[in-house]
Chains A and B, each alone.
Chain A
Amino acid sequence: MNQLINLALIIVILSTFFILGMKNFKPMIKAFAIQAIIIGLIPLITHSKNFSHEAFYLSLILVVSKGIIFPWVLMRTIKKSQISSEAVLLISPSKSIFLGFLALVFAFLFSSHFPIKPPFTNFTIAVAFFTVLAGLFTIMGRKSAFNQVIGYLVFENGIFLLALNLARGIPLMIELGVLFDVFAGLIIMTVAIDHINREFEHIDVHSLNQLKG
């Protein structure tokens, strides 16, 4: 069972590296979908011994909403707003992946000094922190606002992973509350991107600085 959790976490790490190094949006959204589905299946894996209905419903909601609905909304936004499918990266893909690797090492060093011991392995905290850092890096290192939405979603994935592994039992209400928060944020962000694109003909966040003053 330990091996299964390790395998799931390895897939999460690899999909995060994939998101860090990609230029096109559609493979990035697919990698995010894979990440979200695997994270959604982790409650089932960790609670496979004492099977509880809450774990099953949580997994189902996570997989359906983050793995299917969110990528579908994102793909529709690309088509409706006619955003160009290529992202402009401020940092080249090879350097992004190398910096991601440094972030992974840092996350490992950090997790060994974490005060709370997770039930299974220290590996889960390291992966969660790495996903958070990678999401923040995606927000910082890209020009298009759409990329920042994906970075925000990856960041939320990391926080979910941390919460799922540190919580004793399943705090269903808290998880659903956070999920609803993320969902509402996503809807607002995609509507805002659509309006900005229609008004200014681009969604380059660095040019949006001209709105000041």
Chain B
Amino acid sequence: MNTLLNIVIPLLFAPLLIGIINRVKAFFGGRVGIPTLQLYWDLFKLIRKNFIYSRTSGWIFRLGPIIGFAAIFTISLLVPSTTNEAFISFSGDIFLIVYLLGFIRFFLILAALDTGSSFEGMGSAREAFFSALAEPAFFLCLISWVILTGQYSMQGILLHTNQTIWNEYSVTVGLTCFAFFLIILLEACRIPFDDPNTHLELTMIHEVMVLDHASLDFAFILYTSALKLWLLSSLLIHLVFPFNELSLGQQVFLSIAGILGLGLIIGIVESVMARLRMNKVHQLLIGAAIVASLGLLLVLG
């Protein structure tokens, strides 16, 4: 029951997070904004549409979004996003999570390159470069947590994060949580790394990669990015609010409320900043890696 909740709740609530981020952005812009449940209606609409495939695309183009969705579903089996028990947990599964995220991105890039258009190639190049810079930061954060808690599985790390670790190593946990927040913003393609609302071809990074997918493929891609944001945010929430002493109902409530609260914060960050210039983006990612490594050095020293 605990483990099934971990799978069902992200699948149900992930589009709501995107809706909340959009509502916060609209509030800052003085608008009413699109309805909060809009992504659900968009997904239903997209499922009913027809497929369109260009003649230059092959089997990878059809396969990319499906593999993306399958990989993010596998991550939801490994990450205890709502309760404190994951469906599958083994020693070393943190590396599997990071590489599954890279796997999603790899197949989306291949699908974009399969269309034969140079525009998608440009977006894929940018996306590959930025995620290559973010991986060291992600690994440094994970290594810090492994050293702090002594566990090698994601479920173990989240179970053993408790108040004593916060009291003794507060600077390290603070630094790695900040670096992890920047990584979440990158993986979900949010400002300051990528603008999800942009119409200008010059500024697109992730949107240009998924430009050619139609109906059900595009539904898979939207759902995959919403799930990615939900699962990574749940990691951050469970590090900041240790939840191993709470009852089941309290855990579910804290997870959902915390993740939607983090959506509020992401919406605020999106509204007050603009997307950075391209050369500043990779400086910021290197800065995130350095901040995470400072946290690691504090723990080792």
**A residues bordering B, Cβ < 8 Å?**
3, 6-7, 10, 13-14, 17, 21, 93-94, 97-98, 101, 104, 108, 121-123, 126
Taking the closest CB of chain A, its distance from the CB of B195, in whole angstroms, is 23
Chain B residues in the interface with A (C-beta under 8 A): 170-171, 175, 282-283, 286-287, 290-291, 293-294, 297-298, 301
Known: A10-B171, A10-B294, A101-B290. 18 other contacts (CB 8 A): A3-B170, A10-B175, A13-B294, A14-B291, A14-B294, A93-B283, A94-B282, A94-B286, A97-B283, A97-B287, A98-B286, A104-B297, A108-B297, A108-B301, A121-B301, A122-B301, A123-B298, A123-B301
* CA–CA, A204 and B205, complex, Å: 40
A104, chain B: closest CB distance, angstroms: 8
Top 4 A-B pairs ranked by shortest CB distance? A6-B171, A123-B301, A7-B171, A3-B170
| Bound complex: CA A6 to CA B298 (Å) | 8
The residue of chain A having its C-beta at the shortest distance from the C-beta of B280 within the complex is A93
Whole-angstrom distance between the Cβ of A145 and the nearest chain B Cβ: 26
Contact B301 A21 (CB under 8 A): no
Separation of A38 and B139 alpha carbons in the complex (Å) = 30
Interface pair A97/B286, CB less than 8 Å apart: yes
- Taking a contact as CB atoms under 8 Å apart, the answer to whether B293 and A101 are in contact is yes
A-B contact pairs, 12 of them (CB 8 A): A3-B170, A3-B171, A13-B294, A14-B291, A17-B290, A93-B283, A94-B282, A97-B287, A101-B290, A104-B297, A123-B298, A123-B301
Given contacts A6-B171, A93-B283, contact A126 B290 (CB under 8 A): no
Considering only CB atoms, which chain A residue lies closest to B291 in the complex? A14
Q: Within the complex, what minimum Cβ distance (angstroms) separates B282 from chain A?
A: 7
Closest Cβ of chain B to A8, distance in Å, is: 10
Q: B119: shortest Cβ distance to chain A, in Å?
A: 27
> Closest Cβ of chain A: how far from B175's Cβ, in Å?
7
B257 CB, min distance to chain A CBs, angstroms: 28
By the criterion CB–CB under 8 Å, are A97 and B290 in contact? yes
Q: How far in angstroms is the closest Cβ of chain B from A192?
A: 33
A123 to chain B, nearest CB (A): 5
Give the residues in chain B near A93, CB-CB below 8 Å: 283
Closest-CB distance, B85 to chain A (whole angstroms) = 32
Residues on A with beta carbons closer than 8 Å to the beta carbon of B290:
17, 97, 101
Using Cβ atoms and an 8 Å threshold, which residues of chain B touch A98?
A: 286
A131 to chain B, nearest CB (A): 14
Q: A108-B301, A123-B301 are in contact. Are A94 and B283 (CB under 8 A)?
A: yes
The smallest beta-carbon distance between B140 and chain A, in angstroms, is 11
Q: Separation in Å of the B164 CB from the closest CB of chain A?
A: 13
Interchain CA distance A7-B294 in the complex, whole Å: 11
Within the complex, the shortest CB–CB distance from B168 to chain A, in Å, comes to 8
Question: Which residue on chain B has the smallest CB distance to residue A2?
Answer: B168
Bound CA span A95–B287, Å: 12
| A residues in contact with B170, CB < 8 Å | 3
A51 to B286 alpha-carbon distance, docked (Å): 41
**Contact yes or no, A21 B171, CB < 8 A:** no
For A6, list chain B residues within 8 Å (CB).
171, 298
Q: Which residue of A lies closest to B167 (CB)?
A: A3
